[in-house]
Amino acid sequence: MPEVLFEIDQSKSFYAQEVNCHNRWHPDIPPVATVRPGTEFRLECREWFDGTIGNNDSAQDVRDVDISMVHPLSGPVSVEGAAPGDLLVVDILELGPTPQEQGPAAGQGWGYTGIFARENGGGFLTDHFPDAYKAVWDFHGQMATSRHLPGVRFTGITHPGLIGTAPSHALLERWNTREAQLIATDPEAVPPLALPPEEHNALMGGLPEAEARAAARTGARTAPPRENGGNQDIKNLSRGSRVFLPVFVEGGKLSVGDLHFSQGDGEITFCGAIEMGGYIDLRVDLIKGGMEKFAVQDNPVFIPGNVEPRYSEFLTFVGISVDEKGDQRYLDSQLAYKRACLNAIDYLTKFGYSPEQAYLLLGAAPVEGRFSGVVDIPNACATLYLPTAIFDFDVRPSASGPRAVDRGRCATT
């Protein structure tokens, strides 16, 4: 087991850990450790809502979470010799849920998928699902099952939802400017268009208090993916992957968080994936001057690992960019994928699931979401691939019709 550079007591809040914690992006947050290229190390991670979501049958906790506390990040770790313009090579050697029992937080043998209420963050299908829901998943080694989704059992595609380097001051300012401009176009939008810097609940790592307060006023929120990687929520950035991250500050300052036991493409429920606390083992290396050499400047590149769960049969749903009211939109893949997801949900209800259960399933199971046609004016075409083997019944269309049975219900408010 590699050395632990960031140690978490999973029985305590992220605000009460011994180690310096952060939940904002800021170049001035000092590293918790500095390692040489070639080093392997472990970071322990707190689940993204800091243990406030319970293993129970009510979604009130999901309804009431305070999104200003996300994401608890582990790190930053600096790498000797890393300088702006380099590529930081990060191997994701291993990751998993919290190995030992330590209090009741997610990751102790279970995780959860939530649907945010429209008033508290919303999600991909918030117009159709404005209220809060939850499914609790039990871990069986690499498999997950849920009492809230009977008839389903799948292998998790474990990955960090969030991994990234620290932005430079200039890059941070660029983020804040462009996001503020977007917010200004509709400041009262519900859910909001973007999340501006927010002092409340901000943790700024090892920065002295006065500096921390100042930094919190400009520190970038961690919800979106950006040039530094960040909350990309790429399910295939799984165990065994090698990531090439742009370096914007001395040392690179690598942070990680938001571990997922599994996720469907899109993480459509937002409070999505199967959330868990746990650990991640990394190895770091450098490609000096790699950003320019390989033109990797605006976003990371990566090579996925080779142990993703192997499913070979899929039922595929198609969506096009005509909205639910029948209005034609112009080449809009976001809408096309939404329609594909809604088509899948409608389909699954024919087998006895409630729409909420189906929505939760698509956020958590290893479904593939693909861009199919993006140029066939005026309709983008998106496809969602649902592995048929995750069901303990035959989910394919057949002349005998779907076998609808009572499939229980998910956690509601």
Site residues for a second copy, window 317-346 (CB under 8 A)? 317-320, 322, 326-334, 337, 339-340, 343, 346
Interface map 135-154 toward a second copy (x if CB under 8 A): -----xxxx-----------
> Which residue in the set 27, 75, 111, 123 belongs to the binding site for a second copy (CB under 8 A)?
123
The residue (of 157 and 207) whose beta carbon lies closer to a second copy is: 157
What is the Cα–Cα distance from 301 to 308, expressed in whole angstroms? Answer: 18
31 lies in the site for a second copy, by CB under 8 A: no
Q: Which residues, numbered 228-247, are part of the site for a second copy (CB under 8 A)? A: 229, 231-236, 239-240, 244
Question: Residue with structure tokens 């390989």?
Answer: 294
Q: The tokens of 323 are what?
A: 């909205």
What is the Cα–Cα distance from 402 to 382, expressed in whole angstroms? Answer: 25
What is the Cα–Cα distance from 311 to 390, expressed in whole angstroms? Answer: 9
Query: Which residue type is seen at 75?
Result: G
120 lies in the site for a second copy, by CB under 8 A: no
The residue (of 114 and 205) whose beta carbon lies closer to a second copy is: 114
**Least gap, CB of 207 to a second copy (angstroms):** 25
**Least gap, CB of 7 to a second copy (angstroms):** 14
Q: Which residues, numbered 280-319, are part of the site for a second copy (CB under 8 A)? A: 281, 283, 286-288, 290, 293-296, 298-319
> Which residue in the set 47, 267, 275, 356 belongs to the binding site for a second copy (CB under 8 A)?
267
- For residue 104, give the nearest of 182, 7, 12, 221 by alpha carbon: 12
93 lies in the site for a second copy, by CB under 8 A: yes
The per-residue DSSP string of 379-396 comes to --EEEEEEEGGGBSS--S
Question: Residue with structure tokens 């430079």?
Answer: 168
The residue (of 207 and 381) whose beta carbon lies closer to a second copy is: 381
Q: Which residues, numbered 151-180, are part of the site for a second copy (CB under 8 A)? A: 155, 174, 178-179
**Cα distances (Å, whole numbers) of residue 123 to 58, 103, 119, 193, 223:** 19, 29, 10, 12, 13
> Which residue in the set 85, 109, 130, 150 belongs to the binding site for a second copy (CB under 8 A)?
109
- With 0-12 CB in 10 A as exposed, 13-18 as middle and 19+ as buried, what is 45? buried
Query: Which residue type is seen at 201?
Result: N
Q: Which residues, numbered 42-81, are part of the site for a second copy (CB under 8 A)? A: none
The residue (of 144 and 207) whose beta carbon lies closer to a second copy is: 144
Interface map 181-200 toward a second copy (x if CB under 8 A): xx--------xxxxx-----
85 lies in the site for a second copy, by CB under 8 A: no
**Least gap, CB of 387 to a second copy (angstroms):** 9
The DSSP 8-state label assigned to residue 16 in this structure reads G
What is the Cα–Cα distance from 88 to 30, expressed in whole angstroms? Answer: 18
100 lies in the site for a second copy, by CB under 8 A: yes
**Least gap, CB of 28 to a second copy (angstroms):** 23
**Least gap, CB of 211 to a second copy (angstroms):** 27
The DSSP 8-state label assigned to residue 108 in this structure reads S
**Least gap, CB of 54 to a second copy (angstroms):** 19
Q: Which residues, numbered 200-229, are part of the site for a second copy (CB under 8 A)? A: 223-227, 229
- For residue 296, give the nearest of 224, 258, 242, 260 by alpha carbon: 242
The residue (of 143 and 214) whose beta carbon lies closer to a second copy is: 143
Q: Which residues, numbered 338-397, are part of the site for a second copy (CB under 8 A)? A: 339-340, 343, 346-347, 349-350, 368-383, 385, 388-389, 396-397
**Least gap, CB of 162 to a second copy (angstroms):** 9
> Which residue in the set 40, 80, 199, 211 belongs to the binding site for a second copy (CB under 8 A)?
40
What is the Cα–Cα distance from 313 to 332, expressed in whole angstroms? Answer: 28
Query: Which residue type is seen at 387?
Result: P
CB burial of 88-97 (b: ≥16 within 10 Å; e: otherwise) equals: bbbbbbbbbb
What is the Cα–Cα distance from 386 to 390, expressed in whole angstroms? Answer: 9
In terms of residues, how long is the chain? Answer: 413
The residue (of 14 and 244) whose beta carbon lies closer to a second copy is: 244
- For residue 221, give the nearest of 203, 190, 195 by alpha carbon: 195
> C-alpha dihedral over 332, 334, 247, 80, to 10 degrees?
-160
